[in-house]
Amino acid sequence: MIYLDYAATTPVDKRVLNAMIPYFRESYGNPSSIHRYGQKAESALDDAREKVADVLHCRPEEIIFTSCGSESDNLALRGSAFEKRKNFGKKWILTANNEHHAVSKTATQLEKEYGFLLKWLDLDEHGAVTSDSLARAVCNDAALVSVMYANNEIGTINPITELAVTAHSSNIPFHTDAVQAAAYLDVNVELLGVDLMSLGGHKFYGPKGVGVLYVRKGVGLMPHLTGGGQEFGLRAGTQNIPYIVGFAEALRLAAEEREERTAHVKPFRDHIIGRVLEDIPDSKLTGHPENRLPNHASFVFKNVDGNLLIQMLDSAGFACSSGSACKTGNPEPSEVISSLGYSRDWALGSLRITLGVDSIPEHVDLFLKILPGLVQKARGF
Distance separating alpha carbons of residues 92 and 144, to the nearest angstrom: 7
**Close Cβ partners of 354 (under 8 Å, ≥ 6 residues apart):** 4, 5, 6, 7, 8, 293, 295, 296, 297, 321
Name the nearest CA neighbour of 150 among 126, 177, 171, 110: 177
Name the nearest CA neighbour of 175 among 302, 293, 307, 78: 78
Q: Residue 357, Cβ neighbours under 10 Å: how many?
A: 16
**Close Cβ partners of 288 (under 8 Å, ≥ 6 residues apart):** 126, 127, 128, 155, 156, 157
Is 326 noted as a catalytic residue in this protein?
yes
Q: How far is CA 186 from CA 35, 93, 171, in A?
A: 39, 26, 25
Instruction: Describe the strand order of the beta sheet including 142-146 as a list of residue ranges.
Output: 63-66, 211-215, 196-200, 174-177, 142-146, 92-95, 117-120
Asked whether the beta carbons of 139 and 92 are under 8 A apart, the reply is yes
Q: Residue 249, Cβ neighbours under 10 Å: how many?
A: 23
Among 58, 68, 139, 326, the active-site one is: 326
> Pseudo-torsion of CA 248, 251, 255, 261, nearest 10°?
140
Q: Is 174 helix (H, G, I), strand (E, B) or coil?
A: strand
Name the nearest CA neighbour of 17 among 188, 243, 172: 243
- Distance between first and last Cα of the chain: 25
Q: How far is CA 183 from CA 83, 179, 365, in A?
A: 31, 8, 24
Sign (positive or negative) of CA dihedral 33, 37, 43, 48: negative
Instruction: Please list the active-site residues.
Output: 326
